[in-house]
Structure 1
Amino acid sequence: MGNLSNYFGQNIDRKRIVITGGTTGIGKATAALLASLGGHVFIFGRNELDFQKAIEDIKAQAEGKVFGIAADIAKKEDLQLICDEIDNTLGGIDILINNAAISGDGIMDEGYDSIKYILETNILGYMAFTREAVFRMKGQKSGHIINIGSMSAETREKTSTVYVATKSAIRGFSASLRKEVNELGIKVSLIEPGSVTSNMQTSSQDEQKEKIKKLEMLEAEDIAMSVLFCLSQPKRCDIVSLQIRPHLEPI
């Protein structure tokens, strides 16, 4: 295998990488890691303050170039704006990491408009951006799409029915997408984390830190390393699905 540092960086250096929801949590941690390995990373998120802080933090440790924009993937007009920016800065996409998502409660606790926005973000956002990425990847006959799902698709908690529905959809979408695009030279991987520290959690930052100490919660960097593992495989090897659970989370 040779030097492990070369192994983990071989498919990252100078690659054009787009991360949806790349301004916080898993997306930001992944962007920082891949940029530190020489990847040219483009991130976006809907909150302007989160975006500005993420760009500053990622650039501070980046070996590759870092670009981005504050935009909402659930809005059709923003999708076009994002794609135009990517074409102008990166000139294409080699790696897409679909990560932008928001939480959702039980069906009786969410109104119609709220459910619609969650679906547009968590499902339509993944599908619409994947479509744009595939159009750009198929001409070069290579690419890698990583969808960040959730163990909620398996545990199916009664308190998060809407979120469970979206992550179950991503599980099915990923499996079917792989069959559709593999012949184009495009890989598809699904990563399903268990409980991860993030601003989507209902618990406080201190409570999340305590859960991490108790091995009941993952850190965003743990998932970033899993993304890197999927991206580091040779062309002949696909990591189709990967589940990462906290050691003591009862799933």
Structure 2
Amino acid sequence: MKNLSDLLQLNIKQKRIVITGGTTGIGKSIADLLVSLGGRVVIFGRDHEDFNNAVNDIKSNFPDAEIYGAPADVTKKEDVDMILDLIDKKLGGIDILINNAALAADGITTYKLEEWKYVIETNITGYIVFAQEAVKRMTEQKSGHIINIGSMSAESKSAKSTIYVATKSAIRGFTTSLRKEINPLGIKVSLIEPGAVTSDMQTDPKEKQKQKIQKMEMLEAEDIALSVLFCLAQPKRCDIVSMQIRPHLQII
């Protein structure tokens, strides 16, 4: 077997990587890890302050990092076009796409029409748009890897988050079908479905989230980043089709 560090370098170093929702939580942890391994990374998120904090933190921890991006909203065509233009100019293409930008949502009895439409556009349309653009670029090189970050909500189907469950169930189906469509083009597709992960999405205050982590009832964002790395580290012949990661004591 090849040296593990060599394998990681082979599959990450100098790869052109795009992370949607890469400024906080899971996305930021993924960016940290892939930048540390020499990836050339574009991140974006809709909040200007979060974006600036993320880029400054990465540059502080990894002075030689190639990190690019801008504040952007996946539901706005002008923002999407701007990010795609930046990707083409700074990276010259896409080798790896991590679809991660998503919003939490409750049920139809509490959300108004415009609120849940925005969630659907973010959680579903945003994934599809960036997957399509990645495939356009990956098809020319006959290689690439798309990882969609889903959720165990697609399996647990909580009554308290009907709209979120609908979006993550859609991502599960989309990913399965997408793999069948584009595998013949040389492009890998993986689905990662985390259980409870500490993030701004959680309704619990930060201190309670820390307590849940200590009690093994909640995951750290870096746990999902390591799962992403595992998918990316596989040899070309091997696909991690789907992966579920749950806190040790989260029973679904």
Secondary structure (helix, strand or coil) at the match of 1:93 reads: coil
Asked if the contact 2:58–2:65 (Cα under 8 Å) also holds between the matched residues in 1, the reply is no
5+ long unaligned stretches in structure 2: none
% identity of equivalent residues: 66
Q: Which residue of 1 aligns with 2:169?
A: 168
TM alignment of 1:54-203, pairs within 5 A: 54-62=54-62, 63-203=64-204
CA contact (8 A) 2:124 2:170 kept: yes
CA distance in 2, matches of 1:46, 1:114: 16
Q: Determine the structure 2 residue equivalent to 1:226.
A: 227
* TM-score relative to the length of structure 2: 0.98
Query: For 1:6-45, what aligned pairs fall within 5 Å after superposition?
Result: 6-45=6-45
Two-structure CA RMSD over aligned residues (Å): 0.8
Bigger shift: 52-61 or 200-209?
Answer: 52-61
Please, which runs of 5 or more residues in structure 1 have no aligned partner?
none
Post-superposition offset of 1:250: 1.5
CA offset at residue 3 of structure 1?
A: 1.9
Counterpart-to-counterpart distance in 2, 1:59 and 1:115: 36
The Cα of 1:129 is off from its aligned counterpart by: 0.8
> Structure 1 residue 2: deviation in Å?
3.0
Aligned equivalents of 1:76, 1:135: Cα separation in 2: 17
Q: Distance in 2 between matches of 1:73 and 1:20?
A: 8
Deviation at 1:8, TM superposition (A): 2.5
How far apart are the structure 2 equivalents of 1:84 and 1:244?
34
SS where residue 188 of structure 1 aligns?
Answer: strand
Q: CA offset at residue 27 of structure 1?
A: 0.2
CA-CA distance at 1:168 after TM superposition: 0.1
Aligned with 2:204: secondary structure? coil
Q: Write the distance in 2 (CA, Å) between the matches of 1:149 and 1:177.
A: 14
Write the distance in 2 (CA, Å) between the matches of 1:231 and 1:192.
15
Most deviating of 156-165 and 4-13: 4-13
2: distance between equivalents of 1:170 and 1:45?
19
Give the structure 1 partner of residue 46 of structure 2.
46
CA–CA distance in structure 1, aligned partners of residues 140 and 24 of structure 2 = 31
Residues 51 and 69 of structure 1 are in contact (CA less than 8 Å); yes or no, is this contact kept in structure 2? yes
Equivalent residues, number: 251
